[in-house]
Structure 1
């Protein structure tokens, strides 16, 4: 077996004995889930998927749809317009809390039910089917394959969704939800009923992790700015009233769903997802949470882990037989790494003859941040003809 597969199998073996919690009981279709299902999937920057356990099992996406519908609303309206209808602050309350800003009526954030309904109501379309179609298309692009709705789960959601309807009517009274409350709520129920596998969720997380580009299809789904904004909301709000401790223990932007799915994104590294139906008191999967904590601890996934390569980009200095000097850059060059590059350039320039031009070859850089590029260009301008840049 592939060594990465073996590592992932080891993670599942570690959490498999956990039997705390139970499947969601308030949605009849979810209550019948096999509590012993367990799966894990990871996708890297080149689109290779590693998955173990019950990775073929389909389940409804539930609240994990929220970040991706937020991405669609941001794409259609922009950040400022979305923030007029829904906030961006952790609520510290359960996902289905009836809690809105006293003055504006805005829900706390797009990851709680009230905020997700407000976000879904922003999706363009004249009726439920048209709005749902746009949402399914967006989530399918994130997953890299055509997704569809489980009509049985949808009916179960709709028949028991009294609290969500109450939230929608309350937001309608504040003008947060425009038009038909029925259209807004039923669209939300349908988006939660989209079927996915753990591999789909890993690819969706990976698309966010890689700046909006699906690592499997290579297609740009959303802009880098939208992916960043969605991950920012997930980091502070994605795990409901467990979000603070989650960030401390796991340290990754994440989103859970009451069917037992959980996805997380390690920016610029990989997307990861787990599935197990037993939930804790916060509505998060017990074993999926344990999986992510195990991965974070064992594999160094925490977003606040030290990453020396950002401050220490790859630098090599080549001299040919004629005395020409080339400084080659590799990896990622951020603002912190620019200081190191400038130091090398100055040392090389001081040791070179007056008639030698030092070439900075940045063509192998995976990424150069604007501030770093500006610093290097300023150094080139100060040096006159002694430095030149290849991009």
Structure 2
């Protein structure tokens, strides 16, 4: 059998392609010529498995999505207390390019690192390496997270540089208050180059995997960020990542997120999943119209809202929980809760079953909770196992999967306990 996640993502794009509205970011000439029909979505699991559909190999400039990762880098290098001396964490309720400073504790500083004044300040804090180029340090770090060598889009960089009047105004204002400690032109241009790094949605979810996995890069097992750094970045993404639409986003989607004016949006649910979407047309806040639509639907379908209050069990089934009772009869003993993340791991394990026509028993007696998407994925998985020639039954004494009728209208046999199987 195959896991249904790719089919689900493909359905999302098909349902969203007819969505209309929004405009390209025409204040940057190169972005104004982007293909408005490009559409892609990617998802990465806690253990680093990536799913993607649509224009998932199409490269676009990372733009403001870079702010989240650069902030994490600087907080990890300099420690949070030092960064907080320069940049606050208060939501601004203002546009991303507002010339906005705040005064707290007799100190003037940008309100948060997700608006341009804060992001330019954060960029200025990047320790200069041997290459003496902050943007190159960022590119190398992003490449490490993405698992491939990323490059600058020099046409995008030049286009932004030639129209950077507002960002230069922000830079001079920051220098005026000694928030920037060196040439504001050099810092702003280096920041713009950071925003011009090319990525795909697959790159973005690979980069996000380190935030999903509490600072550890699943691909290598290397700890990149401390738990404290991850918590700080996700907190700021939650309250500030979608600018002056952050309140609506938190209410309707409920996932820590960051958007960029090229049309990308990332979302991170710690310990569960990372999401990335790309579609170039933007709403009045500078966020992708179709990207928001897709993220809202994924949050609803998968039960991903941050305040759902359903913890992930992280281990739904171990190898020692799969028991071959006799030839042709295998039992999977499941544990914890069954929501999207856990159901995906279970179906990924079931897809390795050979098409031998044997019987598979799914023991739910140690499952404490099943949400709607977990139930639907479980039943869809049963249908897929049957299509591969297996007989399937449930051990469900608490009736936690009530009315267990699969999408193909097949109702699996339900046992009260494993002893019933031998009878």
TM-score by length of 2: 0.71
Cα deviation 1:90-145 (Å, max 9, x = unaligned) = 00000001111156331110000010000000011179852122111221222222
Task: Using the TM superposition, give the Cα deviation of residue 46 of structure 1 relative to its aligned residue in structure 2, in angstroms.
Answer: 2.3
More helix, by proportion: 1
**Equivalent in 150, 164, 168 of residue 153 of structure 2:** 150
Q: Output one character per residue of 1:147-186: Cα deviation in whole Å (capped at 9) or x when no partner.
A: 1111111111111111001001101111111111122111
The answer (yes or no) to whether the contact 2:67–2:119 under 8 Å persists in 1 is yes
| Distance of 1:285 and 1:43 partners within structure 2 | 20
Which residue is equivalent to 2:44? 43
Q: Does 1:88 align with 2:89?
A: yes
Change (3 A) 1:277 1:7: same
Equivalent residue for 2:142, pick from 139, 142, 153: 139
Equivalent residue, structure 1, for 2:55:
54
| Partner of residue 359, structure 1 | none
Gaps of 5+ in 1: 315-329, 333-391
SS in 1 for 2:216: coil
In 2: Cα distance, 1:29 partner to 1:283 partner: 16
Say which is worse superposed, 258-267 or 103-112, in terms of deviation.
Answer: 103-112
Q: Cα–Cα, structure 1 residues 55 and 162, in superposed 2: closer, same or farther, change >3 Å?
A: same
Return 5+ residue gaps in structure 2 as ranges.
318-334, 338-423
Look up the match of 1:234. 237
Aligned to 2:205: 202
**Pairwise CA distance, 1:217:** 3.4
In 1, Cα distance between equivalents of 2:152 and 2:28: 16
> 1:51-101, CA deviations, whole angstroms, 9 ceiling, x for partnerless residues?
000001000000000011101111221111111111101000000011111
In structure 2, distance between residues paired with 1:193 and 1:291: 25
Choose which of 180, 183, 200 in structure 2 pairs with 1:180: 183
Q: Deviations over 1:206-238 (max 9, x none)?
A: 211111122333332222221111111101000
Q: Say which of 250, 254, 260 aligns to 1:257.
A: 260
3-state SS, counterpart of residue 90 of structure 1: coil
- In structure 1, the partner of 2:68 is 67
The equivalences for 1:375-386 within 5 A come to none
Deviations 1:274-306 (A, max 9, x none): 000000000000000111000000110111112
2:64 and 2:131 map into 1 onto residues whose CA distance is 18
Question: Which of 168, 189, 193 in structure 2 is aligned with 1:165?
Answer: 168
Do 2:41 and 2:275's aligned partners in 1 also have CA atoms closer than 8 Å?
yes
How far apart are the structure 1 equivalents of 2:92 and 2:279?
Answer: 25
| Structure 1 partner of 2:120 | 117
Name the stretch that deviates more: 119-128 or 54-63: 119-128
User: What is the distance in 2 between the residues matched to 1:160 and 1:154?
Assistant: 10
The number of equivalent residue pairs is: 315
Alignment-derived partner of residue 101 in structure 2? 100
CA change 1:272–1:126 in 2 (3 A) is closer
Q: Supply the distance in 2 between the matched residues of 1:44 and 1:273 (Cα, whole angstroms).
A: 12
1:316-335 alignment runs, 5 A limit: none
**Aligned counterpart, 2:355:** none
Is contact 2:133-2:190 (8 Å) kept? no
8 Å contact kept, 1:39–1:54 = yes
Q: Does the CA contact (< 8 Å) of 2:47 and 2:213 recur in 1?
A: no
